[in-house]
Structure 1
Amino acid sequence: MILDDPDTVPLPAEEWATHDGVTLLRTLAGALIVLEAITDLDSFTLPYPPEAQRALDRTVLACLLSGHPPPAGLTELVDRCRSLPLAEWPLGLPPDGIGPEDRLLDVESGRPTELCHEWAWRTPDAAVEFRDRQIVRAALRACREYGDEEAYTAFRGLLVRRPVLTLFEMHELDGDMVLEPVRGLIRQIYRSASDAYLHEGSYTCCERCLTLLIPSQDGDWWCERDRCRRQGPAPTGRRILRETAGEVCQLERPLRQFVTGPGRAEADLERDLLALGLDVRMWPGYDAYDLLVEFPDGHQWAVDVKDWAHPVFLGRSARPVPQDPPYEEAFWVVPQHRTLARPGYVAAFERARPARARDLLLLTDAELVGRARARLRTLEGDTDCA
């Protein structure tokens, strides 16, 4: 996960800045996330939160100007966000703006989709300081001041592998001297889990994603990660009884979305490459990129994993992979489920890339592992010939 410096984050492209639909979608997405945080998305009382009222007003105006029936109120607007694909909304959007089945709310759970979070947090806006970048930069700064790269690697590993902690586990971390530079930061980013996650007195984690599952009225479980839902029903993993565990904390959503989620993809890729017998170093050079992969002949790849739903947002963030630690080849990698869910994903990414990143190659995780396997076969052939 390469972090963009403030002066290198691309400003809105002309073709995006001139479309009213971009502003409206960003407003809608932000309002839905605010509503989820403060109330039940199925019921509302007046006065509405300012963000929600603004989203309703702008949607009504867009509908009236286009000749479409406007929503009668906030409840109907939320219902449309859940039931109506964005392609059917009266939105003026640039090419590649949305996919045919994109929605801001999940059909089954009614909760904001990952795409909704990306529209709220990743729509180009030079005035926005993204929360996940704030936290990761703070961790990098603290660990560099200590001169301790191991501390930063441990911090990233914590966010990826342990997004849920009990109060006892939080106290245990206080005794972990490796995490000393970021101890105060950890206390800030793990928040008390709400009762929405409780079922029969227990919290339940997803076995695949490790985040908390949300119980549904029909007895099933809902996982917030697109990747997990596409693999089938969420597998229940760790169960935490509130009566004995006391407070249960979960990473705040921006970090689950943009650090834990991609981190799970990074860990899966690390596992697959290690299984091929390759040497893999995670988050080298204070997170210059995600994986440094070394082949038996010393040839090295730099790999940065990007688990984003929207290919245009990803393309517009593209930048060359830093040269230190050094390598021979570099790739950005997206989980294969993203390209399967959205035909033309890679092409949309390539169209959105800025000129400075024209040579940046985007592969799926399966393609990268295939390339690694093919290179190993070539090396083995060269050895046989020798």
Structure 2
Amino acid sequence: MSTAAHTADWSAHRGIPLMRTLATALTVLDAATGPEAHTLPYAPEVQRALDRTVLACLERGAEPPVSLPDLLAWCRERPVADWPVDLPSEAAGPHDVLLDPESSRPTELCYEWAEQFSDSAVALYDREIIRAALRLCREYGEEDAYTEFRRILVTRPVLTSAEDFALSMDHVLDPVKELLGRIYRPVPDSYQRGDGYAACGRCLTLLTPLQDGGWWCERDRCRRRGQPPVGRRFVREEVGELLQLDRPLRQFVTGPGRAEVALEERLTGLGLTVRMWPAYDAYDVHVTFPDGHVWAVDVKDWAHPAFLGRAARPVPQEPPYDEAFWVVPQDRVDERLGYIAAYERNRPAAARHVPLLTDTDLIARAKDRLARTWGAADPKETRDA
């Protein structure tokens, strides 16, 4: 079967619209505040998801969820692959659920369904913010402003009052200051334990305290690596009002961006010249070798390779480069058997020449190219890799 035919087959599955509707509803519920979000009348997206799930079950002769709490229990406890709906085999893994069992927050699968298929304002919010930042920085003619804006979202998902004030005084950020003021919001009390808060030492987002004394990290990838390490702590009396990025930006900008800056550090460690998000984010990483050879790299920290394949597209031609790659963190490939093969099967014909490498593979290629050009790669990176 050709790649184009395989990709088109997704539209033939009746479960696709249902999962799209359900993912949208779950992101709407997650963004809502106050007890009224779970009481009648439900938001239109939520009522639509419940109605369509019940209808799908009745059509298949299956017992449907009897209420919204029952549907949410399905989303926490029942792997998507076991739902009585018609879905492509690669739409979800055997253990993937839509809501995290501990927190009832949307999983990466849920957000990737919403990102890929939904026209919900909640699902598109992150892209609207990035487009607004790009437009503002272009109007000012300040590429550095966009680069700094993007790095802030990746490296500083939490801000103290003093840090927020310091950003307001940074003139490089003048084009996007009003935008920054809108996307950082006061932290809810649910994140507080005792007299303060704690951030994850791996992904930098705030941890949620659990009743047993532990902590919960909102990043699926982080949780799979075990208990989150407690990183920076914030004492409420010392930091004043604590702010954090809106959840969609943490999910789709901060999370993937951690992989981008980690790759930047490793490439820089090899002695290569690296530009991040060049030409107003044409792609993620512009790498120049000592002999002038240039790589263009787009980093894609996606949990589900079929969705990644469906999103594949050629890397933009500007800034110019000699070779281009899409790169995924090695642990994504290690966690899901056949990751790269699933990506390739779902990749559209227009992107068939876009290779997907792991970050480990890319670093190995960079070292090999340096060794062939100069006789040896940087010894420090070789020891650290």
Q: Same fold (TM over 0.5)?
A: yes
Structure 1 position 92, deviation (Å): 0.6
- Report what 2:184 is aligned to: 190
Structure 1 position 136, deviation (Å): 1.2
Partner SS state of residue 117, structure 2: coil
Rate the CA distance shift 1:125–1:355 in 2: closer, same or farther, 3 A.
Answer: farther
- Report what 1:5 is aligned to: none
Deviations 1:217-256 (A, max 9, x none): 1111111112211222111111122233332111111111
Length, aligned pairs only: 372
Q: Which amino acid aligns with 2:162?
A: F
Work out the CA distance in 2 between the residues paired with 1:124 and 1:16.
Answer: 15
Structure 1 position 52, deviation (Å): 2.4
Q: Which 4+ residue blocks in structure 1 deviate beyond 6 angstroms?
A: 126-129
Partner SS state of residue 240, structure 1: strand
Structure 1 position 40, deviation (Å): 8.0
Alignment map for 1:1-386 (pairs within 5 Å): 14-38=8-32, 44-123=38-117, 130-381=124-375
Work out the CA distance in 2 between the residues paired with 1:37 and 1:255.
Answer: 12
Work out the CA distance in 1 between the residues paired with 2:33 and 2:345.
Answer: 39
Kept in 2: contact 1:114–1:224 (CA 8 A):
no
Structural RMSD (CA) = 2.4
Q: Which amino acid aligns with 1:261?
A: G
Work out the CA distance in 2 between the residues paired with 1:351 and 1:128.
Answer: 29
Partner SS state of residue 130, structure 1: helix
Rate the CA distance shift 1:96–1:124 in 2: closer, same or farther, 3 A.
Answer: farther
Kept in 2: contact 1:132–1:258 (CA 8 A):
yes
TM-score by length of 2: 0.90
Partner SS state of residue 199, structure 1: coil
Structure 1 position 44, deviation (Å): 4.3
Rate the CA distance shift 1:44–1:255 in 2: closer, same or farther, 3 A.
Answer: closer
Q: Which amino acid aligns with 2:215?
A: W
Kept in 2: contact 1:81–1:105 (CA 8 A):
yes
Partner SS state of residue 27, structure 2: helix
Q: Which amino acid aligns with 1:210?
A: L
TM-score by length of 1: 0.90
Rate the CA distance shift 1:382–1:116 in 2: closer, same or farther, 3 A.
Answer: closer
Work out the CA distance in 1 between the residues paired with 2:94 and 2:215.
Answer: 26
Partner SS state of residue 117, structure 1: helix
Work out the CA distance in 2 between the residues paired with 1:304 and 1:161.
Answer: 18
Work out the CA distance in 1 between the residues paired with 2:121 and 2:309.
Answer: 19
Structure 1 position 19, deviation (Å): 2.0
The gaps in structure 2 that reach 5 residues or longer are: 378-385
Work out the CA distance in 1 between the residues paired with 2:120 and 2:32.
Answer: 27
Q: Which amino acid aligns with 1:159?
A: L
- Report what 2:380 is aligned to: none
Partner SS state of residue 253, structure 2: helix
Work out the CA distance in 2 between the residues paired with 1:127 and 1:247.
Answer: 28
Q: Which amino acid aligns with 2:253?
A: V
Identical positions, percent:
61
Q: Which amino acid aligns with 1:355?
A: A
Deviations 1:66-86 (A, max 9, x none): 122111222121111111111
